[in-house]
Homo-oligomer: A and B are copies of this chain.
Amino acid sequence: MVDSVKSPDELTDIFRARGLKVTPQRQLIFRVLHDELRHATAEAVHARASRDMPTMSLRTVYQTLNDLAAMGEIVQLDLGTGSSRFDTNLDAHQHLVCAECGSVRDIVVDSADIELAEATLEGFAVSSTDIVFRGRCASCAAGARSDVPSTPPLSEETATHA
Residues of B contacting A123 with CB < 8 Å? Answer: 137-138, 141-142
Q: List CB contacts (< 8 Å) of A121-162 with chain B.
A: 121-138, 141-142, 152-155, 157-162
Residues of B contacting A1 with CB < 8 Å? Answer: none
Nearest CB of chain B from residue A40's CB, rounded to whole Å: 16
Nearest CB of chain B from residue A115's CB, rounded to whole Å: 8
22 contacts between A and B (CB under 8 A): A66-B154, A69-B159, A70-B153, A75-B159, A77-B158, A78-B157, A80-B80, A114-B114, A123-B138, A123-B142, A124-B133, A124-B135, A124-B138, A126-B133, A126-B134, A127-B134, A129-B131, A129-B132, A129-B134, A130-B132, A131-B131, A131-B132
